[in-house]
Chains A and B, each alone.
Chain A
Amino acid sequence: MDKIMRGRIKELIARHPKVGDALAEFGVACVTCAVGTCLLKDILEIHHLSPEDEQRMLTRIAEIVYPNRQVVIPLRKSQPEQKTGKLINSPPLLKLVAEHAMIKRVLARIPDMLRKLDLDTVEGRQLALASVDFIRSFADKYHHAKEEDILFKCFDGNLDIIKVMLDDHETGRAHVRAIREAVERRDTVAAVKHLKGYQKLLMEHIRKEDEVLYPWMDRQLSVTQIGRLFSEFAAADAPLAETRRRSEEFISMLEQRFGDAEPGQSR
């Protein structure tokens, strides 16, 4: 079992596809992850399952990998529970979660916006470019920059979970470049394709950060680090007040034009 714990999860799933199902049962989505070089032991730490769930999941994996052997998984002693009731509690990380909520309000309107998008009209091109501007200036410059330049720097950059997030940011940037080029060519089909791609990527990316990465980081960060992040985030935001104001305006405009998103999509 120790060998499995120190093995790369993608390789384990390749050899035993049912392991992927066992992980998914406990909300661990390694199968859909693009990188998948995480070690099983790191996955346990990052996903922070209850000791009982962890034992059940490892027992399932052991049954799949060693079908003819009886492997006993000891119940881990439960760690001191977080007594906040919330998965993410520190002010700097809550600030990033609030920015996610703003980005999600835009992502929620993209499907409706795409149904009517026509780059042969001035209005259509303006809307596509305004979306690109929001993604570039708010999602990327205002939000991802704080993650990349400040938050992620508190952790080992070789961690797979961080590499996955940085990969997502890069993929997002490639979509944005493609959207811009499509607008220049007035290629509505390509613009729709990449806006859809961006929407899907970011929804999943934000879900990973809100549900897995940030709660894990919140547990790791010391009080001193929380204080530093708080002031460094404030310093990073200060010169971008105008970006924020413009982004809020864009969100209101989008919500007015494309109405309410389907329930559960907006925040």
Chain B
Amino acid sequence: MKEHAHNCPGSMMMDRRKDSDAAEAGTGKVRSQLQQWPIQLHLIGPTAPYYQGADVLLVADCVAYALGGFHPEYLKGKSIAIACPKLDEGQDVYVEKIKAWIDDAKINTLTVMIMEVPCCMGLSAIAERALAAASRKVPVKRIVVGLDGEIRKEEWL
């Protein structure tokens, strides 16, 4: 693994080609577990039927690429929205939409999945702001994914 110095750890270059060659890729077709459209947080309606009472994943854009088993292990049976806390505009709308999930769609749980790079914590902070503003309370879980696709940390907030 080669690493290059760069100012921002979130966009620091890493070359992991050797590591991924060594790891065995699954064979056969992996079924998609996506059960809705759209998925981008700006595009979704927070009270859509598939959010009602659901276990919702709020996932940073990069996560599904890093995590080999994303569909069967995390997405299965859940509803989803994706966002990037570093590049997306208009993130106040995000807070409102998450709050509407909690208060109006009466979601069962919220799981925030982010990468281990520091700027990704922003998505967790947005979720926490929404939770603080909401009148209902729901359990919120944070899963931090490493650049190598391993789970770094998994905890209820």
Which residues does A use to contact B, with CB under 8 Å? 80, 82-86, 89-92, 94, 223-224, 226-228, 230-231, 234
Contacts and interface: CB of A to CB of B under 8 A. Distances in A.
Nearest to A80: B151
A224 B108 contact: yes
A175 B121 CA distance: 51
28 contacts: A82-B154, A83-B151, A83-B154, A84-B153, A84-B154, A84-B155, A85-B155, A89-B155, A89-B156, A90-B139, A90-B156, A91-B156, A92-B139, A94-B156, A223-B55, A223-B111, A224-B55, A224-B108, A224-B109, A226-B109, A226-B156, A227-B108, A227-B138, A227-B139, A230-B109, A230-B138, A230-B139, A231-B138
A230 to B, nearest CB: 5
Interface in B117-157: 137-139, 141, 151-156
Contacts of A90: 139, 156
A92 B111 CA distance: 16
Nearest to B153: A83
A71 B127 CA distance: 53
Contacts of A224: 55, 77, 108-109
B137 A226 contact: no
A91 B139 contact: yes
Contact of B109 (A80, A227, A234): A227
Contacts of B78: 223
A83 B152 contact: yes
A227 B156 CA distance: 11
Interface in B29-79: 55, 77-78
Given A89-B156, A223-B109, A227-B139, 14 more contacts: A82-B154, A83-B153, A84-B153, A84-B155, A91-B156, A223-B55, A224-B77, A224-B108, A227-B55, A227-B109, A227-B138, A230-B137, A230-B139, A234-B137
Most buried by A among B78, B108, B151: B108
Interface in B73-111: 77-78, 107-109, 111
Nearest to B53: A227
Q: Which 5 A-B pairs have the closest CB atoms?
A: A227-B108, A227-B109, A84-B155, A91-B139, A83-B153
Contacts of B77: 224
A231 B139 CA distance: 9
Nearest to B108: A227
B155 A231 contact: no
A94 to B, nearest CB: 8
Most buried by B among A82, A84, A224, A227: A227
Contact of B155 (A83, A226, A234): A83
A80 B109 CA distance: 23
B7 to A, nearest CB: 29
A226 B108 CA distance: 9
Nearest to A90: B156
A85 to B, nearest CB: 8
A82 B138 CA distance: 22
Contacts of B111: 223
A231 B109 CA distance: 10
A228 B108 contact: yes
A228 B54 CA distance: 11
A215 to B, nearest CB: 14
Contacts of B155: 83-86, 89
B154 A223 contact: no
A223 B110 CA distance: 9
A36 to B, nearest CB: 33
B41 to A, nearest CB: 20
Nearest to A226: B139
Contact of B141 (A80, A223, A228, A234): A223
Contacts of A226: 109, 139, 156
A115 B142 CA distance: 49
